[in-house]
A and B are shown apart, each in its own frame.
Chain A
Amino acid sequence: DQQVKQNSPSLSVQEGRISILNCDYTNSMFDYFLWYKKYPAEGPTFLISISSIKDKNEDGRFTVFLNKSAKHLSLHIVPSQPGDSAVYFCAASANGNKLVFGAGTILRVKS
């Protein structure tokens, strides 16, 4: 039972344009959401998070949007840079419990 789903295995974007990565969840108890970025042969690194009391959180080029009614969140990267090419994981937790990860989306930013 996949509680966190990233339905796009990959995404290709031109440098300078916006990248939008999507994530859907099924557990309505999730109250904290995070995005991680992973380069090959490295562990995931934390990127940005959002609490369920908010619908938007911004950090530089990265913005996360949360739509609780749709159980959907998205990560926007603008402008996209070649160094953003990596695997992006969405993760969620409920009531301070362990993080549940999606399967990841491979982002390729073409120069």
Chain B
Amino acid sequence: GAGVSQSPRYKVAKRGQDVALRCDPISGHVSLFWYQQALGQGPEFLTYFQNEAQLDKSGLPSDRFFAERPEGSVSTLKIQRTQQEDSAVYLCASSLPPRTDSPLHFGNGTRLTVT
């Protein structure tokens, strides 16, 4: 399909494990975002890439969270030493313009459960 693809759809991790979440944005989209959505809440901004450059990582909750987009397309969000409070849906979104306020195309998310 032509939409934003995220994998895995579901991930269960034991507390302390490292996880890696993948995002394939729409081809040609310059801007890529990661959002975290806790149960019953709206998406909360984590980080933003313009091509391969990470221009804003102000939303990453701790230094256990790391994101990369080395070739300006696929992105990976890595969480080290997972904690129970990391349990959430992680949403990736992309947009064509190199700006942060244009309508975003979201993937279906990865639901992370830390036990």
Contact = CB atoms under 8 A, between A and B. Distances in A.
A102 B41 CA distance: 8
A103 B37 CA distance: 10
A93 B108 contact: no
A104 B108 CA distance: 17
Interface in A94-111: 96-104
Interface residues of B, number: 24
Interface residues of A, number: 24
Contacts of B93: 43
B44 interface: yes
B100 A98 contact: yes
Nearest to B38: A103
A32 B97 CA distance: 15
Given A100-B45, A101-B43, A46 B100 contact: no
B91 interface: yes
Contacts of A98: 33, 45, 48, 56, 59, 100-101
8 closest A-B pairs by CB: A43-B106, A101-B42, A93-B101, A46-B103, A98-B45, A98-B100, A96-B101, A101-B43
